[in-house]
């Protein structure tokens, strides 16, 4: 199992890499900052791309019904969601 504390930084790394955010560094993304719309300016296709990357990285399956705005609102909400799915 991955260490819980490492999850947010792994998510940030995935966001930058899988979404091809050129010029952006993982540490520039704040835990609570909104990812979509106003924040990083990401959209629904970015969310889906991120899902594929998260599934691969954390070995989980995310159902379409779980793709709510709440889960994807920030790095910390995503991190909580993944923690719950990966903890024994």
Q: Which two tokens stand for residue 31?
A: 């835990």
Shortest Å distance, C-beta 57 to another protein: 12
The pattern of x and - marking residues 35 through 54 that bind another protein according to CB under 8 A reads: ------x-xxx--xx--x--
Task: Phi first, then psi: give them for residue 36, nearest 5 degrees.
Answer: -105, 165
What is the smallest separation between the CB atom of 35 and another protein, expressed in angstroms?
A: 15
- Helix and strand counts by DSSP (H, E) for the chain: 3, 0
Nearer of residues 76 and 85 to another protein, judged by Cβ: 85
Contacts of 46 (CB under 8 A, 6+ apart): 19, 36
Contact positions toward another protein, by CB under 8 A? 19-23, 41, 43-45, 48-49, 52, 55-56, 61, 64, 67
């Amino acid at each position: 199992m991955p260490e819980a504390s490492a999850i947010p930084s792994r998510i940030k790394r995935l966001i930058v890499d899988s979404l091809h955010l050129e010029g952006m560094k993982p540490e520039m993304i704040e835990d609570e900052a909104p990812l979509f719309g106003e924040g990083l300016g990401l959209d629904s296709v970015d969310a889906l791309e991120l899902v594929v990357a998260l599934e691969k990285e954390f070995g989980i399956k995310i159902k379409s019904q779980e793709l709510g705005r709440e889960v994807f609102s920030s790095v910390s909400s995503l991190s909580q969601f993944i923690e719950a799915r990966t903890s024994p």
